[in-house]
Amino acid sequence: MTQFITFIKKEFYHVLRDRKTLLILFGMPVVQILIFGFALTNEVKNSKIVIVDEAKDEASAEIIGKIEASRYFEIEKVVANRQQIEAVFKEGKVKVALLFPANFSKDLQHQNKAQVQIIADATDPNNATALTNYLSAIIQDYQSGLNQTRAVPYRIVPETRMLYNPQLKGAHNFVPGVMAMVLMLVCVMMTAISIVKEKETGTMEVLLVSPFKPVLVILSKAIPYLILSLFNVGSILLLSVFVLDLPINGSLLLLLAESTLFIITCLTLGIFISIKTASQQTAMLISLMGMLLPTMLFSGFMFPIENMPFPLQVISNIIPAKWYYIIVKAIMIKGLGFEAIWKETLILLGITIFLFAISLKSFKIRLA
Amino acid sequence: MRTILFLLQKEFRQIFRNKSILAIILVMPVMQLIIMPLAADYEVKNINLVVVDHDHSTYSRQLISKITASGYFRLTDYSASFKEAMQYIESDQADLVLEIPHGFEKDLIREDEQQLFIAVNAINGTKANLGGAYIGQIIRAFNQDIRLELLQPGRINPLPTVEIASSNWFNPLMNYRVFMVPGILAILVTMVGGFLTALNIVREKEVGTIEQINVTPIRKHHFILGKLIPFWILGNVVFSIGLLVSWLIYGIVPLGSLGVLYSFVTVYLLAVMGLGLLVSTFCETQQQAMFIMFFLMMIFILMGGLFTPIESMPDWARGVAAFNPVSYLISVMRLVILKGSGFRDILPHLGIIACFAVVLNTWAILNYKKTT
């Protein structure tokens, strides 16, 4: 046992000595939380709009005033004819154009009907849809201002409630995702690289000929990263509670227990990669391309799984991060208990045991 | 000049000898370009709907069939109560609950106003926002139909209405892949240029061969040019393969001229390779270089406007984005490939990237020390 503790100490020295890597390990989750929390939103805000006012009358001026006053749009310029729209779009700053045909006011007054045209730059389809919706809402607002005196009959009033996340903040979706990604990065990549490094520099041989059990050599490598990862979980949770105001609705103890399970899954994965590879570069590339990328793609926090083609949906099931992501979302945001996530926990446990078994089987004491 | 030629020969030999890395350089981008756009589909469709219909009237049935026929929604199930429907939301089987109150049809006619209750699972903000907007549109249209059906002509004067016609340019089918492919191509060019340069020099440090070069009369800028040129060529090759793949698989042909695209990409590669060089001068081991590059790339990619529009970011983040080379490339790719912008449109971008290239490379050369 004292032997084992000595080995763990040795590993800690290794980890703590490399200041630059350590800084990034702890800085990464903080920066990710800040970026995701404050910089990335799909919210429509300050979108540049160009207005083609062929009417130049009082109704068009009033609508333009309304647009100017809204925080969604920023009027880039008002141009006189519609041929200029394309040139403005090609410069790339303006995302939407609003066109008032000539005689806009007159049509509205005399025929009770007038037309406007919204032209959106649909290279970003979702943004185009949102902009068109917001612009339509402003125009409809103007219209109902005209109709104030008369009540519209047979109104259906939809009352919409946004559950769990009434302000539509992105945080609810990504905090669990960032947790999965950071744990994956620390555990899989760092463990794999640190074991392969001993192989590459030849110190593995020294360790293997010592009276210390080989399996314990590997385990002692994993433990510092387990502790580091728990620190990262703690810092992410603290940041999300105190900086992003995202409360933990479920039990904290359950969340930590599930996180530990996921960390162990990742560590086993890292150990498995290190057993199968011989050089640091290969280990890095495999963990990066084979693990991190699929985690980003298939865990469901950046890309919606239900939109993917069927084969990719099937593949997503073998990604441990997907299950962890579901678990964290259930506990943290929906505040559900263990009975809601036992299935996912079982799957994660199964993956861990499977990886552990094949690692143990392919682990060789003798170097080739 | 002759020195550089010899150095180039050495670098190319090293690259072509390591078959596995070469394969990764050339095959990975193609794989990514094929899989990523398939996966990164943010189009909001297949919103799972649970209906709690307390009314069971003609109107409620009409409304439900209108919603399911729109193509955005998928009816998961009918529930008897709201509580039951919430279980679907909790287990992630449904995104949206529509509750139609008892007496919906009768009261609509009698009292002129009726409410519908919609509860949206808003953990995914984008989906909730668009899902709510879609169902709102459908209900408005349904309401309009009913009003026309119920109102006898002439009962009230027609109200002044502004008709809104909307059209979508450059991507009329609103295909999300069209939006993603040029962005992903930009990411690939960045990764190949940045990572390879950074790792390559640090490897020489770690293995110790850099000492051998340091004791020769090779000048600093010779050495660095010798490292840059091979990866600059490789970057252009990867970019060409990427263009070819996006044409063959997604049928995306640049609307603008290839000359404009290539002239921007060549300058851009210099900038991002300068960054790789700079990182490599600060690091001792490949592990460090890898992590630092990974860290920078992550920030650049997330804040580069690939997924979310830059203009909706807060001011400080837009300030950071102004120093982010990736955001310029993503924007130019989309401008030229999708909108056919010309040289004059991207001139400001090109100027900024050229500045990046000069500053980063000069800094890297100054920071590279031949003595340890």
Tell me, what amino acid is at A290? Answer: G
Mean pLDDT of A267-293: 80
pLDDT (tens digit per residue) in B120-137: 887 777 777 778 878 888
Instruction: Answer whether residue A366 shows pLDDT above 80.
Output: no
Sequence-ordered strand ranges (E) for A24-121: 47-53, 73-79, 96-100, 113-121
The pLDDT-based confidence of A365 (bands split at 50, 70, 90) is low
Rounded CA separation A106/A102 (Å): 9
Is there a contact between A150 and B151 (Cβ–Cβ < 8 Å)?
no
The pLDDT-based confidence of A349 (bands split at 50, 70, 90) is very high
Instruction: Answer whether residue A171 shows pLDDT above 70.
Output: no
Rounded CA separation B243/B59 (Å): 52
Instruction: Answer whether residue B358 shows pLDDT above 90.
Output: yes
Contact at CB, B32 and A293, closer than 8 angstroms: yes
Instruction: Answer whether residue B320 shows pLDDT above 90.
Output: no
CA distances from A268 to A135, A139, A184, A191, A272 (A): 52, 58, 11, 9, 6
DSSP helix/strand/coil, A107: helix
Comparison of pLDDT for A33 and B155, the residue scoring more = A33
* Per-residue model confidence (pLDDT) at position B263: 92
Phi-psi region of B170 (alpha: psi -120 to 50; beta: other; left: phi over 0): left
Chain A residues touching B287 at Cβ < 8 A: 18, 21, 193, 197, 280, 284
| Maximum Cα interatomic distance, chain B, rounded to a whole number of Å | 97
Rounded CA separation A226/A230 (Å): 6
Contact at CB, A308 and B41, closer than 8 angstroms: yes
At A90, list the tokens: 């090609």
Rounded CA separation B320/B303 (Å): 8
Rounded CA separation A3/B61 (Å): 73
- Positive or negative, the CA dihedral B194, B197, B199, B205 is negative
Instruction: Report residue A24 CA to chain centroid gap.
Output: 19
Rounded CA separation B131/B121 (Å): 10
Mean pLDDT of B181-185: 88
Mean pLDDT of B189-202: 85
**Residue among A323, A177, A319, A332 at smallest CA distance from A254:** A332
Residue with token string 């943290």: A332
For residue B114, give the DSSP letter: E
Contact at CB, B345 and A27, closer than 8 angstroms: no
Lowest-confidence segment of A180-189, A221-230, A359-368, B356-365 by average pLDDT: A359-368
**Residue among B116, B4, B133 at smallest CA distance from B64:** B116
Task: Identify the burial level of A344 via C-beta atoms within 10 angstroms of its C-beta, where 0-12 means exposed, 13-18 middle and 19 or more buried.
Answer: middle
* Per-residue model confidence (pLDDT) at position B346: 87
- Positive or negative, the CA dihedral A78, A83, A89, A95 is positive
Judging by DSSP bridges, how do beta strands B47-53 and B96-100 pair with one another?
parallel
Rounded CA separation B126/A170 (Å): 8
pLDDT (tens digit per residue) in B95-108: 889 998 888 888 88
- Positive or negative, the CA dihedral B318, B319, B322, B323 is negative
Q: Nearest CA of chain B to the CA of A44: how many Å?
A: 6
From the list B113, B118, B308, the residue facing A41 with the nearest CB is B308
Residue with token string 């799957």: A347
Rounded CA separation B110/B113 (Å): 8
Return the residue in A58, A163, A169 with the most chain B beta carbons within 10 A, the one to mutate for interface testing: A163
Is there a contact between B168 and A120 (Cβ–Cβ < 8 Å)?
yes
* Per-residue model confidence (pLDDT) at position A170: 65
Judging by DSSP bridges, how do beta strands A113-121 and A96-100 pair with one another?
antiparallel
Instruction: Answer whether residue A43 shows pLDDT above 70.
Output: no
Backbone angles phi, psi at A162, to 5 degrees: -95, 110
**Residue among B198, B179, B201, B221 at smallest CA distance from B307:** B179
Is there a contact between B242 and B27 (Cβ–Cβ < 8 Å)?
no
pLDDT (tens digit per residue) in A200-238: 778 888 888 888 887 888 888 888 889 988 988 998 899
* Per-residue model confidence (pLDDT) at position B154: 53
Lowest-confidence segment of A132-141, B329-338, B348-357, B363-372 by average pLDDT: B363-372
Q: Nearest CA of chain A to the CA of B231: how many Å?
A: 18
Rounded CA separation A248/A334 (Å): 9
Contact at CB, B309 and A124, closer than 8 angstroms: yes
From the list A123, A164, A333, the residue facing B170 with the nearest CB is A123
- Positive or negative, the CA dihedral B250, B255, B260, B264 is negative
Side-chain-side CA neighbours of residue B299 (13 Å) = 20
At A316, list the tokens: 């997503």
Residue with token string 């989309």: B334
Instruction: Answer whether residue B352 shows pLDDT above 90.
Output: yes
Is there a contact between B60 and B100 (Cβ–Cβ < 8 Å)?
yes
Q: Nearest CA of chain B to the CA of A310: how many Å?
A: 10
Tell me, what amino acid is at B201? Answer: I
Chain B residues touching A285 at Cβ < 8 A: 24
Instruction: Answer whether residue A153 shows pLDDT above 80.
Output: no
Chain B residues touching A151 at Cβ < 8 A: 112
Contact at CB, B312 and A46, closer than 8 angstroms: yes
Rounded CA separation A319/A299 (Å): 7
DSSP string, B275-315: HHHHHHHH-SSHHHHHHHHHHHHHHHHHTTTSSS-GGGS-H
Return the exposure string of A29-64: e unless at least 16 CB atoms fall within 10 Å of the residue's CB, then b: beebbebbbbbbbbbbeebbbbbbbbbebebbeebb
From the list B120, B169, B171, the residue facing A160 with the nearest CB is B120
User: How confident is the prediction for chain B on average, in pLDDT?
Assistant: 84
Mean pLDDT of A23-34: 84
Rounded CA separation B304/B168 (Å): 24
For residue A82, give the DSSP letter: T
Residues in chain B, overall count? 372
Rounded CA separation B168/B218 (Å): 57
At B102, list the tokens: 């008892």
At A242, list the tokens: 């105190």
Per cent of chain A over pLDDT 90 is: 7
Measured from the Cβ of residue B361, the count of other Cβ atoms closer than 10 Å reads 21
Is there a contact between A367 and A199 (Cβ–Cβ < 8 Å)?
yes
* Per-residue model confidence (pLDDT) at position A345: 92
Contact at CB, A157 and B114, closer than 8 angstroms: yes
* Per-residue model confidence (pLDDT) at position A169: 65
DSSP string, B224-272: HHHHHHHHHHHHHHHHHHHHHHHHHHH----SS-HHHHHHHHHHHHHHH
Return the residue in A26, A35, A124, A168 with the most chain B beta carbons within 10 A, the one to mutate for interface testing: A124
Tell me, what amino acid is at A94? Answer: V
Which residues on neighbouring strands pair with residue A159, listed in sequence order?
A: B117
Tell me, what amino acid is at B223? Answer: F
Rounded CA separation B137/B44 (Å): 15
**What Rg, from alpha-carbon coordinates, does chain B have?**
29
Residue B81's H or E segment, with its range, is none
Return the residue in B15, B168, B188, B349 with the most chain A beta carbons within 10 A, the one to mutate for interface testing: B168
Contact at CB, A31 and B317, closer than 8 angstroms: no
Contact at CB, A92 and B92, closer than 8 angstroms: no
Mean pLDDT of B177-186: 86
Is there a contact between B95 and B67 (Cβ–Cβ < 8 Å)?
no
The pLDDT-based confidence of B370 (bands split at 50, 70, 90) is low
Instruction: Report residue B201 CA to chain centroid gap.
Output: 30
B133, closest residue in chain A (CA to CA) = A133
Instruction: Answer whether residue B371 shows pLDDT above 70.
Output: no
* Per-residue model confidence (pLDDT) at position B10: 87
At B305, list the tokens: 């406007």
Contact at CB, A152 and B121, closer than 8 angstroms: no
Q: Nearest CA of chain B to the CA of A243: how many Å?
A: 16
pLDDT (tens digit per residue) in B207-247: 788 888 888 888 888 888 888 898 899 899 989 999 998 89
**Residue among B10, B315, B48, B322 at smallest CA distance from A307:** B48
Contact at CB, A116 and B163, closer than 8 angstroms: yes
Mean pLDDT of A242-259: 87
Contact at CB, B41 and A306, closer than 8 angstroms: no
For residue A115, give the DSSP letter: E
Instruction: Answer whether residue A152 shows pLDDT above 80.
Output: no
ipTM over 0.85: no
The pLDDT-based confidence of B360 (bands split at 50, 70, 90) is very high
pLDDT (tens digit per residue) in B12-59: 888 888 776 777 777 777 888 888 787 777 777 778 899 998 888 888
DSSP helix/strand/coil, A79: strand
Sheet containing A96-100: order of strands: A73-79, A47-53, A96-100, A113-121, B161-169
Chain B residues touching A127 at Cβ < 8 A: 309
